[in-house]
């Protein structure tokens, strides 16, 4: 279709048509098995303005600058930027105390040190939020794992194991809570049906704001 590039049409046992804007500004369509191409194109036509709007958002996202690990550079934690300070002969290679303090002798290993810090921090914070919402909702899960995933903020396995990327801990707590609730709800509803979103809404009424935040600013959660 004019100005809208469809990169993939995926047919499955799902009941509704879903439109997804890929990170390369193309459109992915997920549709029920018996849906015709004409029906798909009609849905695309009806949602043309929404599609074009979000394609433009993806095209104009700020390009992520590669971190240099130099003094004054900022790194996110729970939605707030903290400055990096280089120090000599530190007791630990990387320390956080209202700012990040990196031993200059470990600068070449800085990225690995930051990833390790974020993973350990994410395990504690996200683990606590999962437990909090599990008790609040009565939804039981099997375990929590922190990963290095680049394409997914979280996932729920068939065995009800929850996984979250360490990058999520860079986001505000409200965003973390949304992703946690999203994955917990998959324990009950292993799909994105109306029942699933209704369940999410009862716990996070403004979940759509969090979805929008991740769509528009999620690219900033990286090192």
State in Å, rounded, how far the first CA of the chain is from the last one: 36
The answer on pLDDT for 187 being more than 70 is yes
**Domain locations in the chain?**
6-59, 114-220
Paired sense of beta strands 80-87 and 100-103, if any: parallel
pLDDT per residue as tens digits for the range 93-120:
999 999 999 998 898 999 999 999 999 9
Which has the higher per-residue pLDDT, 176 or 53? 176
Which has the higher per-residue pLDDT, 65 or 191? 191
Query: Would you state the CATH architecture of domain 114-220?
Result: 2-Layer Sandwich (3.30)
According to the model, what pLDDT value does residue 55 have? 80
Its pTM surpasses 0.75: no
User: Apex CA 210: angle with CA 207 and CA 212, to 5°?
Assistant: 110
According to the model, what pLDDT value does residue 61 have? 59
CB 119 within 8 A of CB 166: yes
pLDDT per residue as tens digits for the range 10-55:
999 888 998 888 767 788 899 999 999 999 999 999 998 888 887 8
Residue with tokens 């899960």: 141
Q: Which residues of 62-72 are buried (b: 16+ CB within 10 A; e: fewer)?
A: eeeeeeebeee
Mean pLDDT rounded to a whole number for the chain: 90
Rounded to the nearest 10 degrees, the angle between the axes of helix 110-137 and helix 173-188 is 60
Distance separating alpha carbons of residues 107 and 94, to the nearest angstrom: 10
What average pLDDT does range 123-147 have in this prediction?
A: 96
Distance separating alpha carbons of residues 169 and 223, to the nearest angstrom: 12
Name 145's Cβ contacts closer than 8 Å, sequence gap at least 6.
Answer: 161, 162, 163, 164
């Amino acid at each position: 279709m004019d100005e809208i590039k469809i990169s993939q049409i995926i047919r499955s046992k799902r009941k509704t048509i879903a439109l997804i804007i890929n990170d390369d500004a193309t459109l992915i369509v997920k549709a029920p098995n018996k849906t015709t191409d004409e029906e798909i194109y009609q849905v695309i036509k009806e949602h043309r303005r929404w599609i074009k709007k979000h394609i433009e958002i993806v095209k104009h996202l700020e390009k992520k600058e590669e971190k240099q690990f130099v003094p004054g550079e900022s790194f996110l934690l729970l939605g707030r930027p903290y400055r990096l300070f280089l120090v000599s002969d530190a007791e630990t290679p990387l320390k956080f105390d209202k700012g990040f303090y990196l031993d200059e002798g470990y600068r070449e290993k800085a990225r690995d040190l930051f990833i390790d810090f974020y993973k350990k921090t994410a395990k504690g914070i996200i683990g606590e939020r999962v437990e909090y919402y599990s008790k609040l909702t009565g939804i039981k899960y099997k375990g929590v794992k922190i990963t290095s995933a680049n394409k997914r903020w979280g996932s729920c396995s068939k065995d009800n194991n929850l996984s979250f990327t360490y990058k999520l801990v860079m986001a505000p707590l409200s965003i973390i809570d949304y992703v946690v609730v999203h994955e917990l709800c998959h324990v009950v509803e292993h799909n994105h049906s109306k029942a699933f979103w209704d369940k999410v809404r009862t716990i996070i009424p403004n979940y759509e704001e969090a979805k929008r935040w991740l769509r528009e600013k999620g690219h900033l959660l990286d090192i």
